[in-house]
Amino acid sequence: MDKSMYKNFDYLRLIDNYKEYNNPFSHDFNIIFQSSPCQLLSEKMQLIPDPKHYNNRLSHSLDVCKIACLIVDYLNVIMEKNHIKLINKELIKAISFAHDIGHPPFGHTGERSLDQIMLKSGGFESNAQTIRLMISDQFNVTFRTLISLLKHKRIIPNVRKEGTELIKGYYGYMSGDIERLLSIYQENVLEQYIIDMADTISYVISDIKDLIVFLGKTRFIQLVNMYFTVDTLFEDSRHIFKHIGTKELLYLVTDIIKDINENILGPILNSIENKTKARCEQSIISKFVNNISLKVNDIDPMYSELEIPIQDQLKLFLLNQITRKCFLESEFNKGIDTKIDLRINKTFEYLFSLNTDVTILPLEQQNVQNLLSIINDTNKARYVCDLMCQLSENQILHLISHLEERIILT
Domain boundaries, the chain: 8-189, 191-330, 333-409
The pTM assigned to this predicted structure is: 0.95
What pLDDT is stored for residue 360 in this prediction? Answer: 66
Q: Minimal CA–CA distance to 39: which of 376, 297, 278, 390?
A: 390
388 phi-psi bin (left φ>0, alpha ψ -120 to 50, beta other): alpha
The C-alpha atoms of residue 290 and residue 283 are separated, in whole angstroms, by 11
Q: Which pairs from 291-294 meet CB under 8 Å and 24+ separation?
A: 292/71, 292/74, 292/75, 292/197, 294/75, 294/78
The C-alpha atoms of residue 302 and residue 299 are separated, in whole angstroms, by 9
CB contact set of 351 (below 8 Å; sequence gap of 6+) = 361, 371, 384, 387, 388
Cβ pair 400, 343 in contact under 8 A: yes
The C-alpha atoms of residue 93 and residue 90 are separated, in whole angstroms, by 5
What's the gap between Cα 370 and its chain centre? 29
SS3 state of residue 259 = helix
Q: Is residue 397 classed exposed, middle or buried when 0-12, 13-18 and 19+ CB atoms within 10 A define those classes?
A: middle
The C-alpha atoms of residue 397 and residue 374 are separated, in whole angstroms, by 26
What pLDDT is stored for residue 291 in this prediction? Answer: 97
What pLDDT is stored for residue 386 in this prediction? Answer: 97
The C-alpha atoms of residue 317 and residue 236 are separated, in whole angstroms, by 10
Cβ pair 367, 389 in contact under 8 A: no
| Helices (H), ranges, 261-362 | 266-274, 277-290, 310-323, 331-352
Specify the DSSP class assigned to residue 205. H
Could you tell me whether strands 170-171 and 155-156 are parallel, antiparallel, or unpaired per DSSP bridges? parallel
- Can you give the length of the chain in residues? 410
Helix axes 310-323, 230-240, angle to 10 degrees: 120
Cβ pair 292, 307 in contact under 8 A: yes
The C-alpha atoms of residue 78 and residue 202 are separated, in whole angstroms, by 23
What are the 10-residue block averages of pLDDT along the chain, 410 residues in total? 84 83 93 97 97 96 98 96 94 98 98 98 98 97 98 97 95 97 96 98 97 96 96 95 96 98 95 80 94 94 97 98 97 97 96 76 83 95 97 94 67
Q: What is the CATH number of domain 8-189?
A: 1.10.3210.10
The C-alpha atoms of residue 340 and residue 197 are separated, in whole angstroms, by 29
Which amino acid is residue 290, in one-letter code? N
Cβ pair 168, 127 in contact under 8 A: yes
CA dihedral of residues 93, 99, 101, 106 (deg, nearest 10): -130
The b-or-e profile of 94-105 (16+ CB within 10 A means b, else e) is bbbbbbbbbbbb
